[in-house]
Structure 1
Amino acid sequence: MRFLQQHLLLLVSVLSLNQGTTAQKAPGNFYPFDSVAGSIAVEDENSTYVGLSRPFVFFGRLYHQLYVNNNGHLSFIQPSTDFIPHPPPSYRGEDIIAPLWTDIDISPNGVISYKEYTEGVVLANATRDINLYFPDLSFTATWVFVATWHRVAYFLQPGTESSFQVVLISDGYLSFVLMNYEDVAPTADLVLAGYDTVNSARYFVIPDSSDGNSIPNLKNSSNVNVPGRWVFRVDSEQETVVGLRIRVTSYSDLTESGNILFIREKVKQELVDRGLPSMELKVRRVEKTTP
């Protein structure tokens, strides 16, 4: 039944999109995009292979290609037609970047487009943005890839419109991912925004992005104080070890292992909510003091 529905809708939407392959005005924080440079065919469960002019490093793995998948995510090893997201940690054998992974159908409305940049104002904008968010790096972008889902509908929900974008930025050594959001419609379908890696060695889920009723808030959330934008550095596979000393007031005895575990998970979630990736926390010492 689903096969018949999507192909009946296909006949209607091809005509409307053929009349609208002009450059789109980039909303809000979006990087420039248009449907002429590269666009997904108007077909449900579709993926498009893109050979990259410059390689992209994603947590230690070097990729010369990627797939722009209809259902709101990028993959590197193989195309993905999955319309049900795999929440991290999924421990799967693939790297995924998902600005908004859910069941998308662009046959009633919407455009999915992508474009590479190796010169011009987009590289200048990317350089400015990364140096603003990571001021200690002295970064100069040499390559940018932009994939945009513009006013796309959810499957069997014609009339819904969601706009979001993922931007890959590199200088050949350092790699970054930007996720930009404008208006995102709520949905009863499963959703996910974030990224996952091979065997879930590194992963991140944007807070509240796995709740279809909460995803309209993506337009207002951020980890860089820019509403509607999330930014991640994704080149290194090496773990960073840091020390964290905190003072906790509790009526529970924190020298007991169960209470320590509870507090540790609370601290971990707070750090993730503030934009840090998945991490392992180890408690070295607990000291009980008198108020």
Structure 2
Amino acid sequence: NLKTFLFTFYSLQKIAVILCSFSLIEITATPEITTAAAETTTLTTTVSTTAATTTPWTAPAIFYPFGAKAGDIEILENGGDTYYHVVFSTPFTYFGRTYNSIYVNNNGLLTFNYSLPETNPYPFPAYGAVDYIAPLLTDLDDLGIGIYSYQEYTSGSVLTRATQDINQYFPGRDFTASWVFVATWDYVRTWDMNVFNQHSGPAITVQAVLISDGGFSYILIHYGDCAGIPAAVGAGYDTKGSTDYYQIHYDPYGGYSIPNLKNTTNVGVPGRWAFLVNNGSETVIGVQMKLQSFSNLAQRENSDAVLQIIKQELIKYGVSSKFELKLRKLQKINP
């Protein structure tokens, strides 16, 4: 037991000494002062400034010059039913009737007999009492701000251009234009003048060109951007009693189909239509046409469709629209 005691004691003594030693040690704690150098970060911000550029709006190349830069007389339309009566310097003959003036109406309509700024579109033939040309007859003034303008030409580059166009589409007459009248409707579906001036909103831009050499008379109708609209629309031309007429487009339920007008044509140029509206003293006595078809013309619906195409081609070259074509004989010459 003594051994055990001594061991225990020794152990306790050792522990005591150790404890005592620890108690005699003066521990001086000197706090470590850490000086943090202030780190200054300079934030450099690079501001990239992009100047906003606005590309001036231009009409399609098929359009004849128009607007203030071309010297047009312009009428600002901002929700009213307006028109302008224009007296010609040279008479214009329209399907046998000679006119010395025309009414340029705000609603995309040219009339020869009287103004029609509030008329609604209707399908052709209308059998009415007025001769008119309708590039796009609709309630343009209720859709936004617009300018309709006009100008008459008796010399210069516009006559040269008209001469070239007519000889291209109606060859064989050696035509030389001596008079041109251009009317244009340029509307934007907005009531904000800034949007209108920048032409940055949905737009409707159409044009009619009247061309004459004193005997033959022609019209060109041009379509640019035509935004869809919630109003009935009609396009083409008609005459008193509808002795002559042509319907380019008609939609009584809303003009949401008119954006495609800029892709339509009867002369192979998208957005352009051309018509002979007075053939002078010339009488059409016959026509020769070459026809190729992949359809079975022995079927009635196919032959009727071809006859309608031929009829529209004859109308284009000045034949009165009041006639019907009937197929008398069909002969198959190729297997």
State the one-letter code of the partner of 1:82: E
Tell me how large the CA RMSD over aligned residues is. 3.1
8 Å CA contact retained: 1:112, 1:149:
yes
Name which one, 1 or 2, has greater alpha-carbon Rg: 2
> Residues of 2 paired with 1:112 and 1:82: CA distance?
15
The answer to whether structure 1 residue 40 and structure 2 residue 79 are counterparts is no
Q: Indicate how the Cα distance of structure 1 residues 198 and 215 shifts in structure 2: closer, same or farther if over 3 A, else same.
A: same
TM normalised by structure 1 equals 0.76
Q: Give per-residue Cα distances to partners, 1:101-157, cap 9 Å, x unaligned.
A: 1111178422111000111111111111111111201111111100011234499xx
How much identity, in percent, do the aligned residues show? 42
Q: Indicate how the Cα distance of structure 1 residues 250 and 268 shifts in structure 2: closer, same or farther if over 3 A, else same.
A: closer
Deviation at 1:161, TM superposition (A): 1.4
The answer to whether structure 1 residue 161 and structure 2 residue 194 are counterparts is no
Deviation at 1:289, TM superposition (A): 7.7
Q: Give per-residue Cα distances to partners, 1:56-105, cap 9 Å, x unaligned.
A: 01010000000001110100000002341122111111111000111111
> Residues of 2 paired with 1:154 and 1:194: CA distance?
26
> Residues of 1 paired with 2:188 and 2:142: CA distance?
6
Give the aligned partner of residue 88 of structure 2: 52
Higher relative contact order (CA 8 A, sep 6+): 1
Give the aligned partner of residue 296 of structure 2: 249
Deviation at 1:182, TM superposition (A): 0.9
Give the aligned partner of residue 29 of structure 1: 62
The answer to whether structure 1 residue 266 and structure 2 residue 305 are counterparts is yes
Give the aligned partner of residue 186 of structure 1: 228
State the one-letter code of the partner of 2:65: P
Q: Indicate how the Cα distance of structure 1 residues 121 and 280 shifts in structure 2: closer, same or farther if over 3 A, else same.
A: same
Give the aligned partner of residue 210 of structure 1: 250
> Residues of 2 paired with 1:89 and 1:80: CA distance?
17
281-290 or 110-119: bigger deviation? 281-290
Deviation at 1:38, TM superposition (A): 1.4
> Residues of 2 paired with 1:92 and 1:83: CA distance?
12
Q: Indicate how the Cα distance of structure 1 residues 109 and 138 shifts in structure 2: closer, same or farther if over 3 A, else same.
A: same
* Unpaired stretches in structure 1, ≥5 consecutive residues: 1-23, 253-258
8 Å CA contact retained: 1:45, 1:83:
no
The answer to whether structure 1 residue 177 and structure 2 residue 219 are counterparts is yes
Give the aligned partner of residue 11 of structure 1: none
Aligned residues: 256
Q: Give per-residue Cα distances to partners, 1:146-182, cap 9 Å, x unaligned.
A: 0011234499xx9541011000011111111001111
Name which of 112, 118, 121 aligns with 2:154: 118
